[in-house]
Amino acid sequence: MFTQCPECLTVYAVVPETLAKGRGSVRCAHCSAVFDALRTLTETLPGRVTRLAAHATDADLPNLDMPVMRPVPEVDAPAHDDLFSQAATQVAMPQFTRTPGPMRRAPSWPWRVGVALLIPLLVAQVGYAERFELQRNATVRPWLERACATLGCTLPLPHDADGLALLSRDVRPHPSVPRALIISATLRNNADHTQAFPTVEITLTDLDEHRIAMRRFRPQEYVGDSRTIRAGIASGASTALVFEVADPGKSAVAYEFRFL
């Protein structure tokens, strides 16, 4: 049998095995074109023919009427769906696709006991950190006084620097100590409650307001009587303050009081 390449018109001799191997498609050894060899397949080679006639594609297909055998399916062979189901049951499901079981809840009583123990500790820490503000608070202080009366403790006197007023002040040379000064002042408590003696800060400056010397006096340093310190300054009462300091020189011409 013969067939022809439609590109370069080269005619080839073919055998059924070659056509069956490529299912009718072949490659031309001359121009490398791939074509359907069945289109121009012929059993005889006509003389002086430049192009073989192609078979019509709409021709009636021949009927095959001489059967030789027909395979019979095996009865015991499982169906395709059964094979898939069997394979699925044999393969373990991934961990993330499994349905989670009921979660075990840890006992809650240790947490409750821990919270019950930590809450008082937290309240005590906050109270200690804010003790000075709580003592000044007019609403909280009566409760603190009752608690101290029950526990047998002593509540420190409140301290309110804004309620203190400086009525007078004076600076003069020390009469018996050379190169020393005596600074005196009168302090009044304008608050509506008794409060503790403050820490007094005295600053000496020159004409340009540059600080030359500064010192802070605690109540024990300017009040000699410890009972007076414990009693504090009553509401509306005045007290005299006396401080002894070293003379910083003639450049110190101004001084300032500050209550801490």
pLDDT at 82 over 60: no
Choice among 1-10, 53-62, 167-176 with the minimum mean pLDDT: 53-62
- On whether both 167 and 255 belong to a single domain, the answer is yes
Q: Which of 97, 132, 156 corresponds to the end of one domain?
A: 156
pTM for the complete prediction?
0.46
- On whether both 173 and 250 belong to a single domain, the answer is yes
34 located within any domain: yes
Read off the pLDDT band of 198 (50, 70, 90). very high
Beta bridge partners of 209: none
- On whether both 171 and 242 belong to a single domain, the answer is yes
20 located within any domain: yes
- On whether both 251 and 173 belong to a single domain, the answer is yes
199 located within any domain: yes
- On whether both 190 and 255 belong to a single domain, the answer is yes
Distances (CA, A) of 239 to 116, 141, 160, 186, 216: 49, 25, 16, 6, 18
Domain housing 147: 123-156
Beta bridge partners of 246: 180
- On whether both 147 and 217 belong to a single domain, the answer is no
What's the whole-number average pLDDT of the chain? Answer: 79
Q: Which tokens belong to 55?
A: 């078979």
- On whether both 165 and 135 belong to a single domain, the answer is no
| Alpha-carbon gap, residue 9 to 229, rounded angstroms | 129
Q: Which tokens belong to 197?
A: 């003696």
111 located within any domain: no
pLDDT at 197 over 90: yes
- On whether both 171 and 215 belong to a single domain, the answer is yes
What are the start-end ranges of the H helices in 137-202? 141-151
- On whether both 134 and 213 belong to a single domain, the answer is no
210 located within any domain: yes
Structural domains in the chain (count): 3
Share of the chain above pLDDT 90, in %: 12
